[in-house]
A and B are shown apart, each in its own frame.
Chain A
Amino acid sequence: MNLRATVTVTLKRSVLDPQGAAVRSGLLSMGYDKVRDVRVGKHLVLELDGCASPEEGSRMVDEMCRRLLANPVIEEYRFEIAEAPSRGGHEC
């Protein structure tokens, strides 16, 4: 089966996120005074072909996150896995 994994990597809570802090102060200066916190992260979309099951895909993605996609010293990750939309047809 073909799967699509959507991975989100962010800095750990305990690590200062200077980018997030800058975005927050920008939003505050624009008048959005309800913004309490901003965390900036990475969003990765992985297309997986020929997996035996969603569980197999999940195991693989978790391993990829630990080994490469996130750095456990500073980052945490989470991901969702779903069946990939069928290909073919018109792509833009």
Chain B
Amino acid sequence: MKFGIVVFPGSNCDADAYYAVRDGLGVPVEYIWHGTRDVGGFDCIVLPGGFAYGDYLRAGAIARFSPVMDAVLEFAERGGLVLGICNGFQVLLECGLLPGAMLRNDSLQFRCGYVNLKVENAATPFTNALERGRVIRLPIAHGEGNYYADSQTLGNLQAAGRVLFRYCDGEGNVTAEANPNGSLLNIAGICNSRGNVAGMMPHPERAYQRILGSADGLEIFRSVTSFLGGR
């Protein structure tokens, strides 16, 4: 079992994801350079956070045209697991692997800090180590995490159980006050219809050790390994 972490020019959470998988999970992991067209040998590919290509024009807009993204699209097509975190989520939206788009945070400011997330679907490759309804604590750090999709897309996402996480308060209530960026329906993470591609704005790789304030993020990576191990 091996994880691959894509490195775009401007990725800055690539090393964090690497450490979380290697040290937190204890699973082999390698970087994948954006110029490569070969992602053979990997079981799960992580598109990490950061500011790929400076996020100039729109977050993730230029990164999706990297050579590696063709390979990632094929990998996903074949059923490979792809997890986009923060900027990686934005890239997945831009390249169409996931529906919707990101707007600027409604505060118009970058937001960094811990948020509470309600697990909406625990039956996916990325959430099976959690329980539905559980509240986990993860950091966010983004300026464009205000999830938008038209009402039909939102309806489809909800009906198919493709909303993975929603921003909530400490007791699991999904409220406007708990929404850090204005996302529709407090959406923090979603997956594709097949369930093998997921994107989330919060950073599980920043919460893999107690010393960092939370180890809840490790459950996301554990879900992946238990899914792959039981396959």
* Residues of chain A whose beta carbon lies under 8 Å from any beta carbon of chain B: 11, 14-16, 18-19, 22, 42, 68-69, 71, 73-74
Contact = CB atoms under 8 A, between A and B. Distances in A.
B31 interface: no
B103 interface: yes
Interface stretch (B55-63, B156-164, B196-204, B208-216): B55-63
A42 B61 CA distance: 14
Contacts of A19: 104, 108
Given A18-B105, A18-B182, 13 more contacts: A11-B103, A15-B148, A16-B106, A16-B182, A18-B106, A19-B104, A68-B61, A68-B65, A71-B94, A73-B100, A73-B149, A74-B101, A74-B103
Interface in B136-177: 146, 148-150
Contacts of A15: 103, 148
Interface of B: 57-58, 61-62, 65, 93-94, 99-101, 103-106, 108, 146, 148-150, 182
Contacts of A74: 101, 103, 148
Contacts of A16: 103, 106, 182
A68 B57 contact: yes
Contacts of B65: 68
Contacts of A18: 103-106, 108, 146, 182
B182 A73 contact: no
A74 B102 CA distance: 8
Contacts of B58: 71
Contacts, number: 36
Nearest to A70: B58
Nearest to A69: B57
Contacts of A69: 57
What are the 6 A-B residue pairs with the smallest beta carbon separation, nearest first? Answer: A73-B101, A74-B101, A18-B106, A71-B101, A22-B108, A18-B108
16 contacts: A11-B103, A14-B150, A15-B148, A16-B182, A18-B103, A18-B104, A18-B108, A19-B104, A68-B62, A69-B57, A71-B58, A71-B101, A73-B101, A73-B148, A73-B149, A74-B101
A83 to B, nearest CB: 26
Nearest to B58: A71
A69 B94 CA distance: 11
A18 B106 CA distance: 6
Contacts of B57: 42, 68-69
A64 B210 CA distance: 47
A18 B146 CA distance: 10
A71 B93 CA distance: 10
Contacts of B146: 18
